[in-house]
Amino acid sequence: METRANYVAVGAFVLSCFLGLIIAALWLAGTQYSQEGAHYEVFFTGSVTGLGNGTPVRYNGIDVGRVTALKFDPENPKQVIAFLEVVPTLRLHSDSVATIATMGLTGGAYVEIEGGTKNSPILTARPGTEYPVIPSKQSTLQELANSAPGLVAKVNRISNALEKVLDDKNRKALAEILQNTDRVTSAMAAKSAALEGTIDNLQQASIELNRNLKTLQVTLDNSNKAVIAIRHLSLNANRMVDGNTSQQIDELLAQTRSAVASLRRLANTLQDEPSSLIFGVRRKGYTPR
């Protein structure tokens, strides 16, 4: 009897603990959903694959709510309206943006809200609308998916162009070009010693040219100095010719001419009578009879 009573007591204790856990969970759930959440609308353009009732809503990566409903926009068939319910304490700004994101490449989709700036106004419902509308944009994956057809078309055009360029004729020409290039490189490798000698000669010629240029520079400097000296000498000569010096030179030239005339007469006399230099002139005057 005592053993059976112990089993009953243990079972009653376990059952009471289990019921306590259920009551605590229900109380926490009731506390969590007792507050009315804030409702927003998002207009997504294009496919919303992966979204549905209960899809998580995240604000800067933190779970803040869920998607409550999806419906088509009656005014624009390309748009889908997503109704969001988030915690009432979340204050979204007017420049907040919603996108459809995925958890990895194969993970589930969720709505990601990027927070706006601090100074922007709080997002409110516009006149005539029930809930505030969060602006949306396409995610990176959606942009890639939308641009994929264009990229595929460009790749096809490039592939067709490459096929036209690399036809049999052009491939043959390319092979010949490669063969010629190989011949040229082989010839250059065979004459590498001659090329090295030519390069050495060019270096020596460059050194000699530099030396000659230096010599020429020195010669030009000396010529320049000589020209400057001649210019100074010419200026000094001009100064000497000016003023009284010119008159003195004229007198000296006159005296020189007179002396030259006297020497000329003396030379003529000596030519006619050389002895007159020793004995003097012997001519007698005419004596009448």
E-assigned strand segments in the chain: 38-45, 56-59, 62-73, 76-86, 97-102, 109-114, 133-134
The C-alpha atoms of residue 48 and residue 28 are separated, in whole angstroms, by 33
Judge whether 89 and 118 are in contact, CB under 8 Å. Answer: no
Distance CA 252, CA 188 (A): 82
d(CA 43, CA 167): 51
Is the distance from CB of 84 to CB of 133 less than 8 angstroms? no
Residue 244 in domain:
no
Give dist(CA 136, CA 147) in Å, integer: 18
Domain membership of residue 102 (yes or no) is yes
What phi and psi values does residue 58 have, to the nearest 5 degrees?
-120, 145
**Residues present in the chain in total:** 289
The answer to whether residue 263 sits within a structural domain is no
Q: Do the domain assignments include residue 219?
A: no
For residue 229, the surrounding DSSP H or E stretch is helix 192-241
Backbone phi and psi for residue 206, each to the nearest 5 degrees, phi listed first: -65, -40
Domain total for the chain? 1
How many whole angstroms separate alpha carbon 244 and alpha carbon 233?
19
- At 139 the pLDDT is 64
Assess if residue 191 is contained within a domain: no
Whether residue 58 is contained in a domain is answered as yes
Calculate ∠ Cα 96-98-100, nearest 5°: 160
Is 106 part of a structural domain of the chain? yes
What pLDDT sits at residue 68? Answer: 93
Q: Which residue has the tokens 């200026």?
A: 235
Please tell me the predicted confidence (pLDDT) of residue 286: 46
pLDDT in tens, 98-135: 998 888 666 788 999 987 788 889 888 888 888 999 99
Q: Among candidates 108, 30, 28, 101, which has minimal Cα distance to 59?
A: 101
Structural domain range at position 121:
35-138
Q: What pLDDT is stored for residue 238 in this prediction? A: 62
- Cβ distance 111 to 84 under 8 Å? yes
- If one counts every other C-beta atom within 10 angstroms of the C-beta of residue 37, the result is 17
Structure tokens given for 143: 């942009």
What are the E-state strand segments in 91-202? 97-102, 109-114, 133-134
In a domain, 68, yes or no: yes
Question: What does each of the 289 residues of the chain score in pLDDT, given as a tens digit?
Answer: 455 556 667 677 777 787 788 887 666 655 554 457 889 999 998 888 888 899 999 998 889 999 999 999 888 888 999 999 999 988 888 889 999 888 866 678 899 998 778 888 988 888 888 899 999 887 665 556 566 667 777 777 787 777 776 677 777 777 888 888 888 787 777 777 777 777 877 888 788 777 877 777 777 777 677 667 777 766 666 665 555 566 666 776 777 777 767 667 666 665 565 555 454 555 554 455 5
Which residues on adjacent β-strands are paired with residue 29?
Answer: none
Task: Please enumerate, as own/partner, the contacts of 10-16 that have beta carbons within 8 Å and a separation of 24 or more.
Answer: none
**How far, in Å, CA of 48 to CA of 42, rounded?**
11
Dihedrals phi, psi of 175, to nearest 5 degrees: -65, -40
**Which pLDDT belongs to residue 86?**
93
